[in-house]
Amino acid sequence: MWDFLKQLTDPNSIIEYGGLWLLLFVIFAETGLFVGFFLPGDNLILLAGILCKARPDLIHVNYFVLVILMVTAAVVGNVFGYWFGRTAGEKLYSRKENWFFKQKHIEITKTYYNKYGGNVTLIIARFLPIVRTFAPIIAGVIKVDFLKFMLFNFIGAVAWIIGLSSIGFFLVQLFPEITNYMGYIFIALIVITAIPILRIIFRKKEKV
């Protein structure tokens, strides 16, 4: 079980052993399932763009089709998260914490809603770990208009998928040897995307 979970947090293992369908499931799960916040969405999408060019035998589709499939998985994932939020409602705020779920995940997401509003947050959240999992859930809890939700859901998904996958796809054409440095690239991407989250956490601690 732990070996399987470990593989789910490793972008290389996800694509190497699970191929295109596991890739799509992980994108869906990170944006749609309550427990998907630990999955490596950013790194996975970047790697998918790289491997689509460098290792087409692992992806089996061209870049255009890959983008459509990943955007679809991201959009459907958010819809599922929205539905979960509508169903769970305010009970989510009083949910008992455990080793897996922390109320701070919701508080971090609510901070973005308070600062930018629901629509903009749905776009920004795509590029932020943890927030991208809980943003559609909170949208469901506060009952954001579904048509507006779908518009910004789609815009965010397109920006996230094309933004990261195209970087990988075109970088590998300019620097074929980039596949030898994926570990460093993953670490850099994790650090960059974690900075906004860490700033919120530290600011909240300073106010306490």
Q: What pLDDT, in 10s, does the model give residues 48-62?
A: 898 888 888 888 899
Buried-state track 105-124, b at ≥16 Cβ within 10 A, e below 16: bbebbbbbbeeeebbebbbb
**Those residues with Cβ within 8 angstroms of residue 76's Cβ, 6 or more apart along the chain or in another chain:** 28, 32
Residue 58 has what pLDDT? 81
**Those residues with Cβ within 8 angstroms of residue 69's Cβ, 6 or more apart along the chain or in another chain:** 20, 24, 61
pLDDT band at 100 (very low <50, low <70, confident <90, very high): low
Which of helix, strand or coil describes residue 192?
A: helix
**Of the listed ranges 82-96, 106-120, 185-199, the one predicted with least confidence:** 185-199
Mean pLDDT of the chain: 79
What domain count does the chain have?
Answer: 1
Residue 8 has what pLDDT? 53
Residue 114 has what pLDDT? 77
Residue 66 has what pLDDT? 95
Q: Which domain holds residue 164?
A: 2-207
Q: Taking residues 195-200, what's their average pLDDT?
A: 60
Look up residue 106 and give its two tokens.
Answer: 């919701």
pLDDT band at 1 (very low <50, low <70, confident <90, very high): very low
CB-CB neighbours of 87 under 10 Å: 12
Chain segment 102-156, per-residue pLDDT in tens = 677 777 777 777 777 778 888 988 988 888 888 898 888 888 899 999 999 999 9
